[in-house]
Amino acid sequence: MQPFEKIGQRVPLIGQPVRNSVRPTHQGESVPGVFARLAKRRKAALRSLALVGLTLPIFYSPVSWAECQPTPPAAGDTVTCSGQITEPLIAPVDVDDVTVLIEAGASFDTAGDNLQLNDESSVGNSGEINASGPNATGLTIGSSAEFRNQDGGRLTVSGEQAVGVFATPGSENVRFFNQQGATIEISGQSAIGMLAEGSSSFNSNIGGRITVQGLEAVGLRTDGGALSFNAGVISVEQGEAIGILATQFDPNESPFSANVNVLNRFDPDVLGDSGQIVSTVPDAGPLIQLEGATEGLLNRVRNEAESSIRANLNDLTNSNHGIAVAGSAGVDEIINAGEIQGRIELGGGDDEFTAIAGSTLVDLRDFTGGG
């Protein structure tokens, strides 16, 4: 059984129309100029290749390059990367359907933009990808594409405003997995671990571990109605850092039967902890931040049975401490069938909090219903 069969994913058709949307940040501004910056870098890189008169070799799949040199791959190629890679791997803008396998022991660290792939491409990381420079990216990918952090793979995001993995604007059907035994570590200020885009797309942490240690950093972020799904551990360990930041979705068009945009679920098939979103310091959080205020759209968070959202309650002298969920100016719905520890701060919309029988809510201050 595939992981998302458990929440009833209906696979979207390739070639769905692109949906344009405005993607607010957690400060309520439009998405930073990371997308424009990446497009500019890609164009510059391609111009450089043209100037040197690069002749493309003929590849036979699978292709193995020493240290995964950045020779552009052709459509349909499988590229196996090993060793210490210090130059970016960039697919030409008209080349789709590229598979990249990063072997155990391999390390991608260019201090800039590591991998740039297009539609229908995939990356399996069993080594390490480092987004270490300011505004760096680990992987940029297009529609109907997939990233799997697997088999002990590591994704580290240490650069200020760096992004580990994200989909280009307008992408659809993007699938990001942090699987059992894999880790994502975000230590850069205002950095993001994985950013999924599009109503048929998702971020997922299925038995893996995500550690958020950067000031104002974010573990999982979704835009354009995408889903964030946690069945592993997200540990928020720095002031003003966020576990999951989600923007609103259309409940009438969701391809997922859970019909939510944030799902925290205990999975009995996971070895070790599952369905845990926690903070280790009182000024961390909110653990889940919701954004958006568009009519007809909403945020819906479901915390399932045996799952936990636990804010650190050791110091509640500051009103910004110990927040489990912070709502938006629009409509927010929180459904709790497990355990929530910490403050629920819903915003100004027509909001709802639903407690399922057997669930618990521990808030040492007053519950803030909002709306």
User: Average pLDDT of 337-366?
Assistant: 90
Q: What is the pLDDT of residue 366?
A: 56
Asked if the model's pLDDT at residue 346 lies above 80, the reply is yes
Secondary structure of the chain in HEC code, one letter for each residue = CCHHHHHCECCCCCCCCCCCCCCECCCCCECCCHHHHHHHHHHHHHHHHHHCCCCCCCCCCCEEEHHHCCCCCCCCCEEEECCEECCCEECCCCCCCCEEEECCCCEECCCCEEEECCCCCEEEECCEEEECCCCCEEEEECCCCEEEECCCCEEEECCCCCEEEEECCCCCCCEEEEECCCEEEECCCCCEEEEEECCCCEEEEEECEEEECCCCCEEEEEECCCEEEECCEEEECCECCEEEEEECECCCCCCECCCCCEEECCCCCCCCCCCEEEECCCCECCCEEEECCCCCCEEEEEECCCCEEECCCCCCCCCCCCEEEECCCCEEEEEECCEEECEEECCCCCCEEEECCCCEEECCCCCECCC
Is the Cα torsion angle 11, 119, 180, 244 positive or negative in sign?
A: negative
Asked if the model's pLDDT at residue 207 lies above 70, the reply is yes
Q: What is the pLDDT of residue 293?
A: 86
Q: What is the pLDDT of residue 316?
A: 78
Domain ranges of the chain: 85-362
User: Average pLDDT of 4-22?
Assistant: 37
User: For 23-74, how does the pLDDT look when each residue is reduced to its tens digit (9 = 90+)?
Assistant: 334 344 444 444 444 444 444 443 443 333 333 333 333 444 447 655 679 9
Asked if the model's pLDDT at residue 195 lies above 60, the reply is yes
Q: What is the pLDDT of residue 364?
A: 62
Residue 1's contacts (CB-CB under 8 Å, 6 or more residues apart) are none
The least confident of 39-48, 69-78, 202-211, 341-350 is 39-48
Q: What is the pLDDT of residue 347?
A: 82
Q: What is the pLDDT of residue 32?
A: 44
Place of tokens 């940029």: 140
What Rg do the C-alpha atoms of the chain give, in angstroms? 20
Place 363 in a pLDDT band, splitting at 50, 70 and 90. confident
Asked if the model's pLDDT at residue 242 lies above 70, the reply is yes
Average pLDDT, the chain: 84
Q: What is the pLDDT of residue 317?
A: 78
Asked if the model's pLDDT at residue 127 lies above 80, the reply is yes
User: For 130-188, how does the pLDDT look when each residue is reduced to its tens digit (9 = 90+)?
Assistant: 999 999 999 999 999 999 999 999 999 999 999 999 999 899 999 999 999 999 999 99
Place 6 in a pLDDT band, splitting at 50, 70 and 90. very low
